[in-house]
């Protein structure tokens, strides 16, 4: 495969730009004038499945090229301010991954556009009549991001030394452009789910801004931005695991062990706050249309959330297990092993409660024996009061795992260390009490009141996290060390955990995409533009799971090919450029 040079990238960008503007410039009524059909059928697999698969692949790559640069620029800033070459190398490695996936994302986006225009002309014509001005904005932002990312990547050595601040500025600017592209695209998606700025007939009455600023636009923006960071971190961790397992020297294993830890740390940090963004999104869906909310949580999609619970449970258990394995390479971490069993118990019980369904799949005889479809005991664990409670306790437990890992080889020399630790335990304990109190109290109030309790639980957990970190950072600054971190000595099974986390989160993203789209049922734009195509039906959960699995496998096949190419291009070139991999001499405060 030829390397994508700036010249070729510009050609790709120009082609996409021209295609987008040419297609978007088509008036909404032109299709009717030409007597085009409202739908066309994609051969063999159908139009919906074709759009579904390409859209999910495009979103996966788009999430990757948005999430990875966010923490790549943060890592570069750390390396710039600390003059630590390891962080500059690591940031360059992450951007290189983004660079390899950038053209794939653009090509999949172009293919998705052609599918919409060719097979759903009526839908595309209506969306154009509402959002035509945003197409120009999107295209210009795409141009700006493309050139900025290429300047950022190719100017790494040129903009070093005294000009490093210019290079960092390019990284920040590329992230701003990428986030703006995400926000524009989200306006189209959320309008389909919660239309605004139009009347019942679908005519625009409030202007394009009213259509953009609909009920779910900002919640989706925040939720996807955080999810993209998690996703980028897990993929970067999987890449590091791939390189770790194929490494032939201890130095290389140490380097990619550290890279995998950083990727997992970024993913875990964002994952802890991701459920809170999900609560906000769910609340806005209910605020827009309660019927849609009931369909999502208590209708035919209710079992989808059981699958989601299993996947998120795997993410929590996997992330904690990786941290616990990582403590084995840190001298002095032995003193914290006693905390692992109780934390594992909390995570396991939380996993079991979260995966407990409200209504059981039972035979008629079993239902008669129980007195209904709700189990007399387990039915109490299937409601949101129980699930909100355990997920917040799992977040607190995961945060505690990180705190123990962070201080594993440190001994604080502060005279107020006992007071500080007592305050930290008190904050975590108080947050747990608040979470449990509102979880139990939720059984005795109406649903509308119970929904509000989740806000108090979230605020208690976030307050505890902020307070504990505010104490921990100064308490362990300048702490004495029990030994350096032995990078590269972690058990190989930890690397399979990193790969598992990447696959699980990718599958979860596909599942949540199906949930967001499926609640519209037989509407292109909910309540405005009806889907009258032969595929106008929400597929069964089993069918959707199979499609998501195939798309996930296709995505990772492409990603593994990109990983292989990345390793192939480095053979025989070690030390040939300014970003030759550094040697990890050991752990330090900035490593964690």
| Tens-place pLDDT, residues 495-514 | 999 999 999 999 999 999 89
From the list 421, 408, 401, 402, the residue with the least C-alpha distance to 474 is 421
Percent of the chain at pLDDT exceeding 70: 84
Going from the C-alpha of 226 to that of each of 178, 275, 307, 314, 424, the distances in angstroms are 14, 10, 21, 19, 26
From the list 97, 59, 57, 93, the residue with the least C-alpha distance to 75 is 93
Task: Using the predicted structure, report yes or no on whether residue 284 has a pLDDT greater than 90.
Answer: no
Chain-wide mean pLDDT for the chain? 84
User: CA 470, CA 464: separation in Å to the nearest integer?
Assistant: 10
Encode pLDDT of 404-459 as tens digits.
Answer: 998 888 998 889 999 999 999 999 999 999 999 998 888 887 766 777 787 888 88
Indicate the pLDDT class of residue 11, thresholds 50, 70 and 90. very low
The torsion of the CA quartet 172, 176, 178, 184, rounded to 10 degrees, works out to 180
Encode pLDDT of 292-329 as tens digits.
Answer: 877 777 667 777 888 888 888 899 999 999 999 999 88
DSSP summary character for residue 443:
G
Q: What is the mean pLDDT of residues 77-93?
A: 86
Percent of the chain at pLDDT exceeding 90: 40
Indicate the pLDDT class of residue 368, thresholds 50, 70 and 90. low
Indicate the pLDDT class of residue 578, thresholds 50, 70 and 90. very low
Task: Using the predicted structure, report yes or no on whether residue 376 has a pLDDT greater than 70.
Answer: no
The pTM for the full model equals 0.84
Q: Which residue has the higher pLDDT, 60 or 361?
A: 60
Answer whether 301's CB lies under 8 Å from 515's CB. yes
Instruction: Please give the angle made by the CA atoms of 348, 267 and 263, to the nearest 5 degrees.
Output: 120
pLDDT number for residue 516: 87
* Residue 467: Cβ-neighbour burial (10 angstroms; 0-12, 13-18, 19+): middle
Task: Using the predicted structure, report yes or no on whether residue 466 has a pLDDT greater than 90.
Answer: yes
Task: Using the predicted structure, report yes or no on whether residue 563 has a pLDDT greater than 80.
Answer: no
Indicate the pLDDT class of residue 361, thresholds 50, 70 and 90. low
pLDDT number for residue 424: 94
Task: Using the predicted structure, report yes or no on whether residue 269 has a pLDDT greater than 90.
Answer: no
Q: What is the mean pLDDT of residues 327-352?
A: 90
From the list 197, 216, 217, the residue with the least C-alpha distance to 208 is 197
107 Cβ contact partners less than 8 Å away, ≥ 6 residues apart: 12
Answer whether 517's CB lies under 8 Å from 511's CB. no
Encode pLDDT of 110-164 as tens digits.
Answer: 999 999 999 999 999 999 999 999 999 999 998 898 899 889 988 888 888 888 9
Instruction: Please give the angle made by the CA atoms of 382, 383 and 387, to the nearest 5 degrees.
Output: 85
Cα four-point dihedral sign 85, 90, 94, 96 = positive
Encode pLDDT of 182-236 as tens digits.
Answer: 999 999 999 999 999 888 888 888 889 999 999 999 999 999 999 999 998 898 8
Encode pLDDT of 519-548 as tens digits.
Answer: 888 899 998 999 998 888 888 888 999 999
260 Cβ contact partners less than 8 Å away, ≥ 6 residues apart: 237, 240, 241, 244, 494, 495, 498
Answer whether 271's CB lies under 8 Å from 67's CB. no
From the list 280, 276, 313, the residue with the least C-alpha distance to 462 is 276
Q: Are strands 480-481 and 523-525 parallel, antiparallel or unpaired?
A: unpaired
Indicate the pLDDT class of residue 98, thresholds 50, 70 and 90. confident
């Amino acid at each position: 495969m030829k390397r994508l040079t700036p010249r070729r990238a510009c050609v790709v960008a120009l082609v996409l730009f021209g295609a987008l503007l040419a297609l978007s410039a088509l008036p909404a009524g032109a299709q009717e004038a030409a007597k085009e059909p409202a739908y066309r059928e994609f051969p063999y697999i159908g139009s919906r499945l074709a759009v579904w698969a390409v859209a999910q692949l495009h979103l996966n790559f788009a999430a990757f090229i948005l999430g990875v640069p966010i923490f790549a620029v943060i890592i570069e800033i750390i390396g710039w301010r600390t003059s630590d070459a390891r962080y500059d190398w690591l940031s360059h490695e992450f951007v290189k991954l983004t660079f390899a996936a950038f053209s794939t994302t653009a090509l999949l986006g172009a293919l998705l556009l052609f599918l919409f225009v060719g097979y759903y002309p009526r839908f595309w014509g209506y969306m154009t009549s509402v959002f035509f001005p945003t197409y120009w904005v999107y295209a210009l932002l795409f141009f700006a991001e493309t050139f900025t990312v290429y300047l950022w990547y190719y100017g790494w050595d040129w903009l070093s030394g005294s000009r490093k601040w210019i290079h960092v500025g390019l990284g920040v600017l590329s992230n701003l452009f990428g986030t703006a592209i995400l926000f524009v695209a989200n306006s189209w998606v959320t309008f389909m789910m919660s239309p605004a700025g139009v009347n019942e007939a679908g005519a625009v009455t409030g202007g394009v801004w009213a259509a953009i600023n609909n009920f779910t636009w900002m919640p989706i923006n925040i939720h996807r931005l955080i999810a993209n960071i998690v996703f980028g971190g897990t993929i970067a961790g999987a890449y590091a695991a791939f390189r770790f397992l194929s490494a032939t020297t201890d130095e290389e294993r140490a380097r990619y062990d550290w890279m995998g830890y950083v990727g997992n740390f970024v993913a875990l940090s964002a994952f802890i706050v991701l459920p809170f963004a999900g609560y906000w999104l769910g609340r806005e869906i209910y605020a827009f249309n309660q019927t849609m909310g009931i369909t999502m949580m208590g209708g035919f999609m209710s079992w989808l959330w059981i699958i989601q619970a299993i996947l998120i449970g795997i993410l929590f258990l996997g992330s904690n297990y990786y941290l616990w394995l990582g403590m084995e390479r840190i001298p002095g971490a032995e003193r914290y092993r006693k905390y692992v069993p109780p934390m594992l118990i909390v995570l396991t019980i939380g996993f079991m409660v979260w995966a407990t369904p409200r209504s059981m799949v039972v035979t008629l005889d079993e239902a008669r024996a129980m007195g209904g479809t709700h189990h007399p005991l387990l039915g109490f664990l299937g409601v949101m009061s129980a699930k909100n409670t355990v997920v917040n306790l799992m977040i607190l437990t995961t945060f505690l795992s990180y705190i123990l890992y962070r201080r594993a080889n440190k001994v604080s020399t502060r005279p107020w260390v006992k007071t500080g630790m007592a305050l930290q335990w008190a904050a975590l304990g108080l947050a747990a009490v608040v979470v449990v109190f509102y979880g139990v109290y939720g059984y005795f109030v109406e649903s509308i009141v119970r929904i509000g309790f989740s806000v108090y639980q979230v605020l208690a957990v976030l307050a505890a996290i902020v307070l504990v970190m505010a104490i921990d950072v100064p308490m362990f600054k300048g702490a004495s060390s029990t030994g350096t971190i032995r990078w590269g000595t972690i058990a190989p099974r930890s690397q399979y955990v990193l790969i598992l986390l990447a696959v699980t989160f990718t599958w979860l993203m596909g599942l949540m995409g199906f949930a967001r789209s499926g609640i519209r049922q037989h509407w292109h734009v909910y309540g405005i533009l009806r889907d009258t195509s032969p595929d106008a039906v929400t597929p069964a959960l089993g069918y959707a799971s199979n499609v998501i699995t195939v798309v996930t496998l296709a995505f990772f096949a492409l990603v593994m090919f990109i990983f292989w190419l990345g390793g192939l291009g480095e053979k025989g070139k070690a030390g040939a450029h300014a970003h030759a991999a550094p040697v990890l001499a050991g752990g330090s405060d900035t490593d964690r």
